[in-house]
Amino acid sequence: AQSVTQLGSHVSVSEGALVLLRCNYSSSVPPYLFWYVQYPNQGLQLLLKYTSAATLVKGINGFEAEFKKSETSFHLTKPSAHMSDAAEYFCAVSDSWGKLQFGAGTQVVVTP
């Protein structure tokens, strides 16, 4: 079975500082990996997805993620946090049917 583990349920960063959200996956086949973001009182929206075309994936709002097979990781980063990045972030892995298994989520708080 495929699964993802997100390290850290809450992350606090200062405005302008690096954002790093950790995700490790477990999969018996080449994984399809995603990062989604949920802003307050909204549904989830896609930040980026790994397609195997490149190990460094760029997404919306300045986020990117790097796929590292040797570490079974797909960590999400943003060089400089904005107040608008305050949200909950979910890592997910897809199976052959397109069903997503989500991690528990990481709540990001951005302080001035």
Partner 1 sequence: DVKVTQSSRYLVKRTGEKVFLECVQDMDHENMFWYRQDPGLGLRLIYFSYDVKMKEKGDIPEGYSVSREKKERFSLILESASTNQTSMYLCASSLAGTNEKLFFGSGTQLSVL
- Least separation in angstroms between residue 16's CB and partner 1 is 29
- Least separation in angstroms between residue 47's CB and partner 1 is 10
Q: Give Cα 7 to chain centroid, integer Å.
A: 11
Q: Which is nearer to partner 1, 15 or 69 (CB)?
A: 69
Long-range contacts of 14-17 (CB under 8 A, 24+ apart): 14/81, 14/110, 14/111, 14/112, 15/81, 15/82, 15/83, 15/110, 15/111, 15/112, 16/80, 16/81, 17/80, 17/81
- Least separation in angstroms between residue 3's CB and partner 1 is 11
Q: Which is nearer to partner 1, 46 or 109 (CB)?
A: 46
- The residues that touch partner 1, with contacts defined as CB under 8 A, are 6, 9, 32, 34, 36, 41-46, 49, 51, 90, 94-105
Q: Which is nearer to partner 1, 43 or 112 (CB)?
A: 43
